[in-house]
Amino acid sequence: MAIVDQFLTNALTSDFFAGGLALGAFGVVVAFLRLAFLSLYRLVLRRVWVSLTLDNRSPSYRHFCIWMEQNSVLSQSRHVRMTDGEWASGTKGYAPSPGQHWFFWQGNP
């Protein structure tokens, strides 16, 4: 037991060993923070963001486009392409476009 105690005492007084121990502890802390950040990010993804896919041949696509037009959802959007045809009076046709789209409803994303 005395040999182990003497070895630990000599190792901790060594700058090389103490630096390695500090670097290892720093790595553990960074790995824990990364894991915590990724867990929080996944939680936010599940709770906040919604993904919606509509086929433009579906009747629900037309209703969704009318709803977006009536509620001015696309006023701040950058990646929307408008089609030439009109479906009903006062509405515009929107065709899907590539990229991410952010929608805000009553001030919430």
Give me the chain's average pLDDT, please. 76
pLDDT at 91: 47
Under a CB-based contact definition with an 8 Å cutoff, are residues 52 and 61 in contact? Answer: no
Per residue in 63-91, pLDDT tens? Answer: 887 887 787 776 666 555 555 444 444 44
Confidence of residue 50 (pLDDT cuts 50, 70, 90): low
Under a CB-based contact definition with an 8 Å cutoff, are residues 46 and 86 in contact? Answer: no
Confidence of residue 39 (pLDDT cuts 50, 70, 90): very high
Q: What is the pTM of this model?
A: 0.41
The residues with which 81 forms a beta bridge, in sequence order, are: 95
Is residue 94 within a helix (H) or strand (E), and if so which, with residue range?
strand 94-95
The residues spanned by each domain of the chain are 2-47, 51-109
Q: Burial of 37 by CB count in 10 Å (0-12 exposed, 13-18 middle, 19+ buried)?
A: exposed
Q: Residues 37-52: what's their mean pLDDT?
A: 83
